[in-house]
Structure 1
Amino acid sequence: MRLWKTILAATVLALATGTSAFAARTDLVIGIPLEPPHLDPTAGAAAAIDEVLYANVFEGLTRIGPKGEVLPDLAESWTISDDGKTYTFKLRTGVKFHDGTEFDANDVKFSLDRARADNSVNAQKGLFAAIDKVDVIDPATVKVTLKNPQGSFLYNMGWGDAVIVAPETADTNKEKPIGTGPFKFQNWAKGSSITLVKSDNYWGSPASLDKAEFRIVPDAAAYVPALLSGDIQAFPFFDADSVAQVKDDPRFKVVIGSTEGETILSINNKKPPFDKLQVRQAISYALDRKAIIDGASAGLGQPIGSHMSPANKDYVDLTGRYPHDVAKAKELLKEAGLENGFKATLKLPPPAYARLGGEIIASELRDVGIDLEIIPVEWAQWLDQVFTKKDYDLTIVSHTEPNDIDIYSRKDYYFNYDNPAFDKVIADLNLTSDEAKRKELLGQAQKILADDAVVGFLFELPKVGVWDAKLQGLWENAPIQANDLTKVKWSD
């Protein structure tokens, strides 16, 4: 009887003092490969800055969601003038920065004027080039007037480079970031980790996590041991070659998503014989995407048929436009007067997807009569020879900027592509804010690029995430550079 009472007393004590043992945990350690150079998204191009701070510490007028959609953020709503040049933002009220100061329209004007100023150090200053002036109407209303309509303006305002900062703390954000987000900065142990904690005065839905530590792990070989030991619970960007070691372990989730990295076989469209449509189409038919994806991205890349990420809400699946067909490729070369094939060069920059993919593509084109000389180049050479001087036949590169389909309309761009019909679609897109119309135009743009076989569309660079199976809310895809923790929680 005495033993039973002892057990009962211990159980009551455990229930009274140790219920947290049965509750979901509220801390998280996330592994990231690169340490940011500083912590101010408005003053640096490094993706690692946004991967820690975007949506967590800093917020903008708008924000980009997990599917690449534009969502309200510090602006709860907006109206657009009939001429598409004036945006009037209704701001959220009761918002405070982490140092306790109030957020209002003056902070928006300061941030946008600072980003577009002549002495701006913003890495994406071009995002603000269309702004003519910013007027404060009242503390909760700001009016932005553009020099010309810009259909992507609301999207641009959702970039990490466009987050809103306070004039009182803007100059010290590199070391001590002060934002309005659901997490506030606690500590930066240089070379080791950056720690965020839950903000107690957040204007929106509070975060489920009380603490998040971004642990810097530059060595990919350390990823699996860190997961297995429990030291780190999530790697949003995992090493693709290490996936096999954890994919069958029920303790972890392996999530394969998309990035904004369209990986393409770039073609110099004005250089004979690539100026002939039949030749470019023959190349597209010669490409076996599955073999390329297996060899260049550990089988994890998603095939693409035009220049848009499969994760984008406006993506059109055109991968069936050019099925792998050697006979069709040879037929098109014959139509182009090249029945006996021809020789060309393939300049390959350093990334593995290019060097490995290049070997496969050279073999596939050889099967249809195109004999490629592979020329490895360093990035500096690639930028000089290929990107700047357009001194190339073919090359392989991944274009990682979001929503960059307009690059094909740039007359000085290294593709050397010129199609007035495509240019017209892009011009209309730039003047259009209506989402349904933009979707229609983006669909047209993708189809034109596929029909013209401007480049060989290969695959989207994969986003490989591995994390604890009980963890919920991390992004599957990467429409922008972010590890958004606002919806992340542990299941019970």
Structure 2
Amino acid sequence: MPHFTRLFAPVAVLLCASAAQAQDSITVAIQLEPPNLDPTGGAAQAIDSVLYANVFEGLTRFDADGAIIPSLAQDWTISEDGTVYSFNIAGGVTFHDGTTMDAEDVKFSLDRARAADSTNAQKGLFAGITDITVNTPLNVQITLDQPNGNFLFNLAWGDAVIVAPESIADIASNPVGTGPFRFTDWVQGDRITLTRYDKYWGDTPALETATFRFIADPTAAFAAVMAEDVDAFVGFPAPENLPQFQADPRFQVLVGNTEGETILSINNKMPPFNDMRVRQAVALAVDRQAIIDGAMFGLGTPIGTHFAPHHPDYVDLLPNSPFDPARAKALLAEAGFADGFTTTLKLPPPSYARRGGEIIAAQLRAVGIETEITNLEWAQWIEEVFTNKDFGLSIVSHTEPMDIGIYANPDYYFQYDSPAFQAVMEELNATTDPAGRSDLLVKAQTIISDDYVNGYLFELAVATVAKADLQGLWVNQPTAAVDLTGVSWSE
């Protein structure tokens, strides 16, 4: 959810290592349980939280600093016209069921992702592929209809990991990948256990076992960390408690960036939100800083468009939607809603949504918009909001990197249909010149801000509370993942 973008269910990760526990074993609990374990067919961000880089790998991957680095593809060449990529696949790679991973599996995975009946949440990543040819068992050639400056970036997403036809039927409950950890067990409602894969083709991780557990309640999360029942909590859901941990020498507190644009999603096709004046009124009724302070205790960076502020091409469009309740009321009156109206506000489980929803409801009420709040579990949110588009307003954080392209899909859940924006994104995909791409990204950010597609709130921060002797955790989240491949205990 948006995996969809993959939508952020802020990941709370517990890494548990009691005194009796071996230093090569930790327990990792996340705040939200994945609805299934197929990153190539499900939209929930929690899927990648557990599986990205740990169980599944793609041709490329995101490094801790956000760089795109080789993964299953050791290297590649690109044709002079930018449309043909030839990937050399690492040798000696096996899936966790013992079958060989080769170029045929790459072709199978990408053909499956781009197929007409694909349920991949990010099919747009593969839209430009016209042909996939297996040249040798360790070389695959991918042809595009036009140059795409984002192609290696696209292949690093969790939606583009490599899977095998032998195990695909059960991937949602028994994922089989090529990563350093293999899936061992899933006790639904409680935990997922991963075990080091001894035949892993790459560097051996320090950890032998890792158990992800699901702890949704912020109070329970605080108690678990304070009692040292857990080793770390990534995406700690109660930021008001961070000062207490910072003052305690038993812990380290890491605060980093995510790619999560937290938005007040608006159903652009549902009346009255099909009137831009109403969408603008919603945007002007929202006090971002009050939400950041009240729901996130100051953690978060205000945004005026769907783009990460730490990206060099970010444009500060906050002046386009300042907090201005008087102007919001005037716009509603112009649109024929001087007496306001009532709509739905459907909230997924994350703290930013539940806490922020109450604050936004009060702000909207002040300009005449009443909201009927419904708290949904993640699977319900996916079905009602993301899939069926049965909502007026919602709050969600889109955590996949550089995902502004979702606005070019008129069938995406907020149903924005702009030929002008679509043309900009089409040109962007065909542009490789850095300066040209920067200009187009500025245009794209400005269009969706000027159209008030959604209420742009803040870029989600990620706070990690960990035991002092745990090392290798990501500080920032360049993608929505809890990468355990470099995690270890200090000597």
CA distance in 2: counterparts of 1:103 and 1:126, whole angstroms: 25
Task: Report if aligned partners of 2:353, 2:395 keep a CA contact under 8 Å in 1.
Answer: yes
Matches within 5 A, 1:219-230: 219-230=217-228
Gap regions ≥5 residues in structure 2: 1-18
CA distance in 1: counterparts of 2:218 and 2:273, whole angstroms: 42
Matches within 5 A, 1:11-30: 25-30=23-28
| Residue equivalent to 1:307 | 306
Under a length normalisation based on structure 1, what TM-score does the superposition of the two structures give?
0.76
How far apart are 1:143 and its partner, in Å? Answer: 0.7
Task: Report if aligned partners of 2:354, 2:375 keep a CA contact under 8 Å in 1.
Answer: no
| Residue equivalent to 2:4 | none
Once the two structures are superposed, what CA deviation does each residue of 1:448-490 show, in whole Å capped at 9, x if it has no partner? 3334544432123443432212222222343433211122233
CA distance in 1: counterparts of 2:412 and 2:36, whole angstroms: 32
Matches within 5 A, 1:382-393: none
Once the two structures are superposed, what CA deviation does each residue of 1:301-321 show, in whole Å capped at 9, x if it has no partner? 331121123455654444455
Task: Report if aligned partners of 1:284, 1:322 keep a CA contact under 8 Å in 2.
Answer: yes
Task: Report if aligned partners of 1:262, 1:309 keep a CA contact under 8 Å in 2.
Answer: no
Kindly tell me: are residues 294 and 269 of structure 1, through their superposed partners in 2, closer, same or farther at Cα, counting changes over 3 Å?
farther
CA distance in 2: counterparts of 1:156 and 1:397, whole angstroms: 25
Kindly tell me: are residues 321 and 77 of structure 1, through their superposed partners in 2, closer, same or farther at Cα, counting changes over 3 Å?
farther
| Residue equivalent to 2:206 | 208
Task: State yes or no: 1:258 paired with 2:249.
Answer: no
How far apart are 1:361 and its partner, in Å? Answer: 4.5
| Residue equivalent to 1:14 | none
How far apart are 1:30 and its partner, in Å? Answer: 1.5
Matches within 5 A, 1:263-274: 263-264=263-264, 266=266, 268=268
Kindly tell me: are residues 434 and 399 of structure 1, through their superposed partners in 2, closer, same or farther at Cα, counting changes over 3 Å?
farther
Q: Give the 3-state SS of the residue equivalent to 1:110 in structure 2.
A: helix
Kindly tell me: are residues 208 and 276 of structure 1, through their superposed partners in 2, closer, same or farther at Cα, counting changes over 3 Å?
closer
Q: Give the 3-state SS of the residue equivalent to 2:142 in structure 1.
A: strand
Kindly tell me: are residues 153 and 188 of structure 1, through their superposed partners in 2, closer, same or farther at Cα, counting changes over 3 Å?
same
| Paired AA for residue 63 in structure 1 | R
Task: Report if aligned partners of 2:346, 2:373 keep a CA contact under 8 Å in 1.
Answer: yes
| Paired AA for residue 223 in structure 1 | A
Task: State yes or no: 1:343 paired with 2:340.
Answer: yes
CA distance in 2: counterparts of 1:422 and 1:46, whole angstroms: 26
Kindly tell me: are residues 360 and 27 of structure 1, through their superposed partners in 2, closer, same or farther at Cα, counting changes over 3 Å?
closer
Task: Report if aligned partners of 2:314, 2:442 keep a CA contact under 8 Å in 1.
Answer: yes
| Residue equivalent to 1:468 | 467
Task: State yes or no: 1:196 paired with 2:225.
Answer: no
Task: Report if aligned partners of 2:258, 2:399 keep a CA contact under 8 Å in 1.
Answer: no
CA distance in 2: counterparts of 1:75 and 1:325, whole angstroms: 51
Give the aligned CA root-mean-square deviation in angstroms. Answer: 4.3
Task: State yes or no: 1:372 paired with 2:378.
Answer: no
How far apart are 1:65 and its partner, in Å? Answer: 3.3
Once the two structures are superposed, what CA deviation does each residue of 1:396-434 show, in whole Å capped at 9, x if it has no partner? 422526243234444566767666543332221232355
Task: Report if aligned partners of 2:364, 2:370 keep a CA contact under 8 Å in 1.
Answer: no
Kindly tell me: are residues 196 and 145 of structure 1, through their superposed partners in 2, closer, same or farther at Cα, counting changes over 3 Å?
same
Task: State yes or no: 1:293 paired with 2:296.
Answer: no
Q: Give the 3-state SS of the residue equivalent to 1:41 in structure 2.
A: coil
How far apart are 1:168 and its partner, in Å? Answer: 4.3
Q: Give the 3-state SS of the residue equivalent to 1:32 in structure 2.
A: coil
Q: Which protein shows a greater Rg? A: 1
Q: Give the 3-state SS of the residue equivalent to 1:445 in structure 2.
A: helix
| Residue equivalent to 2:477 | 478
Kindly tell me: are residues 271 and 416 of structure 1, through their superposed partners in 2, closer, same or farther at Cα, counting changes over 3 Å?
farther
Once the two structures are superposed, what CA deviation does each residue of 1:317-350 show, in whole Å capped at 9, x if it has no partner? 44455554678x48x959x979x97634453213
Task: State yes or no: 1:491 paired with 2:490.
Answer: yes
CA distance in 2: counterparts of 1:294 and 1:261, whole angstroms: 17
How far apart are 1:91 and its partner, in Å? Answer: 2.0
Task: State yes or no: 1:135 paired with 2:133.
Answer: yes
CA distance in 1: counterparts of 2:70 and 2:406, whole angstroms: 27
CA distance in 1: counterparts of 2:429 and 2:489, whole angstroms: 42
CA distance in 2: counterparts of 1:266 and 1:218, whole angstroms: 26
Task: Report if aligned partners of 2:266, 2:279 keep a CA contact under 8 Å in 1.
Answer: no
Q: Give the 3-state SS of the residue equivalent to 1:79 in structure 2.
A: strand
The share of aligned pairs that are identical, in percent, is 48
| Paired AA for residue 488 in structure 1 | V
CA distance in 1: counterparts of 2:289 and 2:211, whole angstroms: 38
Task: State yes or no: 1:32 paired with 2:34.
Answer: no
CA distance in 1: counterparts of 2:96 and 2:199, whole angstroms: 8
CA distance in 1: counterparts of 2:276 and 2:34, whole angstroms: 45
